[in-house]
Amino acid sequence: MKISSFKERVYAVASKIPRGKVATYGQIARLAGSSGAARAVGLCMKNNPDTKKVPCHRVVASDGSLTGYAYGKGIVTKREMLVREKVKFSQDRVDLGSSLWKTG
């Protein structure tokens, strides 16, 4: 049995975030088996090798703010992509009440 690395688990979890929903860095860390590793999830997202397979733009801070995005024009591009996917915003933050990905 192959034991996957943390990074592989993070990418596997993030690849399941549906269009129109977001997950938080902490949520991804918990689902990947390392609840205190939200910053490490951010590093994984920054170094994401396949943005088509792993939609890192759908990962946001625990307060709904858009922190970091390594592609296009950064956070501007991240917001544009989320708006196109019909993610709900309240001012400059994602409305987590309506757009947070609910997992099991």
Point out the residues that are catalytic. Answer: 56
75: left (phi over 0), alpha (psi -120 to 50) or beta: alpha
Phi, psi (degrees; rounded to nearest 5) at 13 = -65, -50
Burial of 5 (0-12, 13-18, 19+ CB in 10 A): exposed
Q: Are 82 and 57 in contact (CB under 8 A)?
A: yes
The answer to whether the beta carbons of residues 17 and 58 sit under 8 Å apart is yes
